[in-house]
Amino acid sequence: MHMEIPDIKNVPYPGPEAGKSALRSILKTRNILDVLESVHSEMGDVFRIPLPGFQPIFLIGPEANRFVTVTQRDDLRWRNEFDPVTKLLNNGILVTDGEYHDELRHAISPALHKHAIHDYFPKMLIRTDEVINKWQDGFEIDMLVEMRKIALLIIMDTLCDVDFSKELENLWFDIKNILKYISPGIWIFNPDIPRPGYGRSIHRINLFFYQIISERKKSGQKGTDLLSLLLENPAFTEQLIRDQLLTLFIAGHDTSTATLSWTLYLLSMHPVILQRVQQEVSDVLNGNEPTLESIYKLDYLEMVIKETLRLYPPIHIGNRIAARDLTFQGFRIPAGSRVVYSIYLSHRHPNYWGDPGEFKPDRFDNENNRNRIPYTYMPFGGGHRNCIGMAFAMIEAKLILARIIQRFNIINKNTHLVKPYMGATLEPRPGVFLFTEKKDTKQTSF
């Protein structure tokens, strides 16, 4: 079965060479960011990339971001039946549209409200310590792996009250495998292509979630976490609960894993900035365990995380399909077109950012924040389907990074060249290899 190709002749494109090099880059290095950057600077804010089978239309910059996420939100659908993300998540909030999406969002939101996250805070700290207590002095550690462990333990403990420690090992391969299943690859060009090697992992992950649901049902335990919330709601069947849990499990841990490991990487490459963060953490925490109050005071660390999310937004593009004919800045976008808003290109748009490739956290000080043009900075998307986990993610990232920096010196001896990789999120590959040196501080949360 193949998708219909709409007539988008009026949208500029850079010639077949760019299409070929995008194709080569997707298949070989899983990184088309450089190709997109050069096409953007050649063609401007609206262009299409001719790929075999389809031609995504890229809309870049604040107006485009607003158009896709707010003004035309109802005419630009997320769900694409050919996309493995849809196949895996079924009716998960991320892959639904319109009223159905909004109903799911309404039901899930209380579990990710700021107040709920405040209750999750102690668990976040315990799970962070659980992983970093095992770090040995003077050893090189892959932070991409370590941050995934912390993020997985936290997402399962907070949203489902489940201790995921044992499953870290049991399900590690399956988790990585389903992330591979939903990552860009050759299937983009031919959705019918057989994709063996994933069925068993999907089955094992499904079993895990159905078991959690049935155990909680049997126990009759009531709580305020997401699982309780969904079980109490008569609109949710077991399958629909599984869809939401798996969606939040993936969306809520892989993004945080990338954010945390990119931040540690950038800090390790910028000693002056690292030192300023260390000083702030030391002044604010004053040798004590992080608390919610102290985390809110770590302003510079927050600026560092925001700047990391600008340079390496874990979700670097948003894909949509036009439900009807649309026009953007005079360009006709016929129904059925694939429309993409690029968070990555918007975050490096030279019209809105000076030295766009440089790591400069001061861009996010109060004055710059006040003067920023809306929709130029979109790490969490925008509009009604922006990231539901934004507050969760920011508190979690600040806490984990503050705790690591409080307890360890991190040293990068440049043993590996790090590059962005377009997996399910934009990841630092082959990993972030840092040496950790224990500091002499109190460790009271275990």
Identified binder of ligand HEM from the candidate list 6, 61, 379, 423, rule CB under 6 A: 379
**Beta-ladder partners of 40:** none
Which of these, 420, 440, 441, 443, lies nearest to 430 by C-alpha position?
420
Residue nearer to ligand HEM on the CB measure, 392 or 408: 392
Query: What is the Cα–Cα distance from 128 to 396, expressed in whole angstroms?
Result: 10
Residue 337 interacts with ligand HEM (CB under 6 A)?
A: no
Residue nearer to ligand HEM on the CB measure, 18 or 117: 117
Residue nearer to ligand HEM on the CB measure, 23 or 158: 158
Identified binder of ligand HEM from the candidate list 32, 188, 251, 266, rule CB under 6 A: 251
Specify the stretch interacting with ligand HEM by CB under 6 A; choose among 4-12, 13-21, 26-34, 311-319.
311-319
Residue 290 interacts with ligand HEM (CB under 6 A)?
A: no
Identified binder of ligand HEM from the candidate list 65, 72, 86, 247, rule CB under 6 A: 247
Beta carbon of residue 441, minimum distance to ligand HEM (angstroms, whole number)? 26
Residue 314 interacts with ligand HEM (CB under 6 A)?
A: yes
Specify the stretch interacting with ligand HEM by CB under 6 A; choose among 132-140, 254-262, 274-282, 358-366.
254-262
Identified binder of ligand HEM from the candidate list 65, 128, 259, 342, rule CB under 6 A: 259
Residue 201 interacts with ligand HEM (CB under 6 A)?
A: no
Residue 252 interacts with ligand HEM (CB under 6 A)?
A: yes
Specify the stretch interacting with ligand HEM by CB under 6 A; choose among 14-22, 232-240, 261-269, 389-397.
389-397
- For ligand HEM, the binding residues in 37-96 under the rule CB under 6 A are 93-94
Residue 420 interacts with ligand HEM (CB under 6 A)?
A: no
Identified binder of ligand HEM from the candidate list 213, 266, 315, 339, rule CB under 6 A: 315
Identified binder of ligand HEM from the candidate list 23, 147, 205, 248, rule CB under 6 A: 248
Name the site residues for ligand HEM (rule: CB under 6 A).
Answer: 93-94, 105, 112, 247-248, 251-252, 255-256, 259, 309, 314-315, 318, 379-381, 385-389, 392-393
